[in-house]
Amino acid sequence: MTELTREQALDAIENGWGTYVRRFNEMTPTGQREFLHKQGYNRLADLLAHVLAWWTDGQERVQAYLKNPDLPQQDYDVEAFNAKAVAKHKDTPEAEVIRLFEEKRAAWVKLVKSLPDSAFQNDKLRARLHIEVVGHLDEHLL
């Protein structure tokens, strides 16, 4: 069972993801290229497009679990999902992807703050929230 409190989720969203773009931009150009290469992306916008797609899906699933706690977990073809996410924004300017990323991040803050305490007792909801905001941050740690 994945343990996650509202405070831990908000900390990851506000302090981890909330400083992500700034911390990336503080890296040297060489450091940025090396980081993106290790992550498997060509540009920051591609990595953020990937996160944005998972966050969109994750927010929908969290809302669905609120309505139906017994809803089965969804299976994903992760590689196809990621490829589609990057392709969707391949021509989108980086500044626009960053704006969309920040918009979706703000939606996470609003959603997590609005969750009833009982939501953190739902294993599937809590696990999905953990994957999206904590686990995903760990995967893309700067």
Show the domains of the chain with their CATH numbers.
6-139 (1.20.120)
Place of tokens 């343990």: 3
Name residue 54's amino acid.
Answer: W
Instruction: Please give the model's pTM, rounded to 2 decimal places.
Output: 0.93
What is the pLDDT at residue 139? 96
Q: What's residue 79's pLDDT?
A: 94
Cβ burial of 105 (10 Å; 0-12, 13-18, 19+) is buried
Residue-by-residue pLDDT tens, the chain, 142 positions: 578 999 999 999 999 999 999 999 999 999 999 999 999 999 999 999 999 999 999 999 999 999 998 898 889 999 999 999 999 999 999 999 999 999 999 999 999 999 999 999 999 999 999 999 999 999 999 9
